[in-house]
Chain A
Amino acid sequence: MPPVATYSEEELVLLLRQQNRDAFNYLYKNYAGVLFGVIHKVIADDETANDVLQEAFVKIWNNIAQYDPNKGRIYTWMLNIARNSAIDKLRSKGEIMKGKIQSGEDAVNNVQKGMRSEQATDTIGLRKMVAGLKPEYEIVVNMAYFNGYTLDEISKTLNIPLGTVKTRMRSAMQQLREVFKN
């Protein structure tokens, strides 16, 4: 469910700052799916993921006045709020500790599980290209973005040098940029 491009980024910010129900409905219709997808990748439990989605929307709603367009795009800002809320929840539940002793192999398995769930949705052509990301690239992306690992933690967990973690992140993003060029 990709967002319907009815409003430009500036219009969306203005709309949200009006703080009325129509603005909320638009926001929800276009972004709930993406935000929920990100949250669900961090937190497997449906109920908890729904709670976090609610927290994220409340934060977005109440902090829209503080959003600074010069510091990045509104989509990224919202995505980060959703992701950070999910990771905070994970940490508060102590699940991060479980995650930290996860071996690299488990991380690979998680990546593959993630790929399977992707195939359940539409846009098969894109999916294949994303799935084509080298597993060692996808692990570092998933560990950082969806599990909240720092560079240092990834380096120690996967037992690869810190510089390599960074170059893999770069390669992964380069590949995604290539895939999403149009």
Chain B
Amino acid sequence: MNTREYIESGQLEAFVLGALSPQEQAQVQADIDRNPELAKEVAAIEEAMFRFASQEAMSPDPAMQDKIWSAIQASQPGGGEEEQARQSALILPLSPALRHTRFSRAAVWLALVGSMALNTIFWYQNSRQKQDSLAMSTRLDSMQANQKLLAQIVDNYTRGKNMMADTSMQTIVMHTVLKGHPMAATLYWSKDKGEAYVMMDALPEPPKGMQYQLWAIQGGKPVDMGVLPMDMASTAIIQKVGRPIASGEAFAISLEKAGGSPTPTAGNIYVMGKS
């Protein structure tokens, strides 16, 4: 219904005449607040209705004026006119009262104590609000951190899915080299693209100050393919290898000091697999 139709429907007249249900009345009021054209129309209807009602004017009982004023006084908290009189009586003797130093001193103290009490209350409220807002921002921070973590996990899965879907991808399982230590890691390698991904779900977490390092065996020699993040051992995280791998007869992972070594430390090669 457009504004024109709304106006012509008679709904606004019904509103002014008070013939709508409370819900409809509230709805029309909301419509009026939004639409100045409706507000203008309602004002015109109200004006007409007021003029119409004015024609019905009748004089009430002449005694009513005083009676109503008394009723108004009686309805005021603290007794209306008397209260007003008392208030002005309090204001008038203010300058003579200054001579009564004892009284004014007491008043000053009272005001001071009152003000201090208020200060304390406000300070307390303020500090509570600060605490609340701190707690809120802490919660927000942890939510953001959680979200970031989730985004990383989703990203990992997406990459993993894309990687698995790649038909040129070769899966190389690297098995344990150390007897009695069942360990394994997996390398996904696309020779065409030179891309590789590594997962170390069956390798123990590296001890402090140590880090796993990936090697490609090219022409019988281990070539450094970079260190692997500390936190991905024993997890299903699939990490893209930072360097392109064009060739390699075999791949291996060794435990090195944090930051990596130029050549793998003998005896620390944990897993190895042929391509």
- Measured CB to CB, the residues of A under 8 A from B are 1-3, 20-21, 24-25, 28, 32-34, 36-38, 40-41, 46, 49-50, 53-54, 57-58, 61-62, 71-73, 75-76, 79-80, 83-84, 114, 117-118, 121, 123, 126-127, 130, 141, 144-145, 148-151, 154, 163, 165-170, 172-173, 176-177, 179-180
Contact = CB atoms under 8 A, between A and B. Distances in A.
Nearest to A145: B17
Interface of B: 8-11, 13-14, 16-21, 29, 42-61, 64-65, 67-69, 71-72, 75-76, 81, 84
Contacts of B50: 34, 73, 75-76, 79
Contacts of A118: 55-56
Contacts, number: 156
Contacts of B16: 76, 173
30 contacts: A1-B59, A33-B57, A36-B60, A40-B56, A40-B58, A46-B61, A58-B71, A72-B46, A73-B46, A73-B47, A79-B53, A114-B56, A121-B55, A121-B58, A127-B55, A130-B55, A141-B52, A144-B14, A144-B17, A145-B49, A149-B19, A166-B11, A168-B10, A173-B16, A173-B45, A173-B48, A173-B49, A177-B48, A179-B48, A180-B52
Nearest to B8: A170
Determine chain A's interface SS by DSSP, over half rule: helix
A-B residue pairs, 8 tightest by C-beta: A166-B10, A37-B56, A170-B10, A33-B57, A144-B19, A144-B17, A169-B13, A176-B48
Contacts of A73: 43, 46-47, 50
B230 to A, nearest CB: 65
B129 to A, nearest CB: 29
B51 A50 contact: no
